[in-house]
């Protein structure tokens, strides 16, 4: 996905919502689902993010830059092949 498209999604997807009031660290794990489902994820350090949705579809977001907010609601953030770090769930 081109950076311009990603920035557009971020601006439209999260900016149109109310601000987050709950923040929590996300520790990637290959089988443990997130106990608190975020509305978005802050990417603290750049890299790839591998997530799974409620239908068990796995998607890799490649080359995410540090400091962005990705407006997704994954069921699972996988440890395998996730290289982005300092992940913060926003709700």
pTM above 0.85, yes or no: no
User: Which range of residues forms the domain containing residue 54?
Assistant: 3-90
pLDDT tens for the chain, 91 residues long, are 455 556 655 555 555 557 899 999 999 999 999 999 999 999 999 999 999 999 999 999 999 999 999 999 999 999 999 999 999 999 9
Number of domains, the chain: 1
CB-based contacts of 85: which residues, under 8 Å, 6+ apart? 44, 45, 47
44-77 burial, b at 16+ Cβ within 10 Å, e below that, comes to eeebebbbbeeeeeeeebeebeeebbbbbebebb
Give the Cα separation of 79 and 63 in Å (integer): 16
């Amino acid at each position: 996905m081109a950076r311009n498209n990603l920035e557009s999604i971020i601006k439209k997807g999260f900016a149109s919502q109310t601000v987050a009031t709950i923040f929590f660290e996300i520790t990637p794990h290959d089988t443990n689902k997130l106990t608190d489902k975020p509305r978005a994820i802050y990417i603290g350090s750049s890299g790839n993010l591998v997530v799974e949705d409620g239908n068990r579809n796995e998607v890799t977001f490649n080359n995410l830059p540090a400091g962005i907010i990705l407006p997704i609601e994954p069921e699972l953030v996988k440890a395998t092949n996730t290289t982005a770090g300092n992940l913060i769930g926003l709700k």
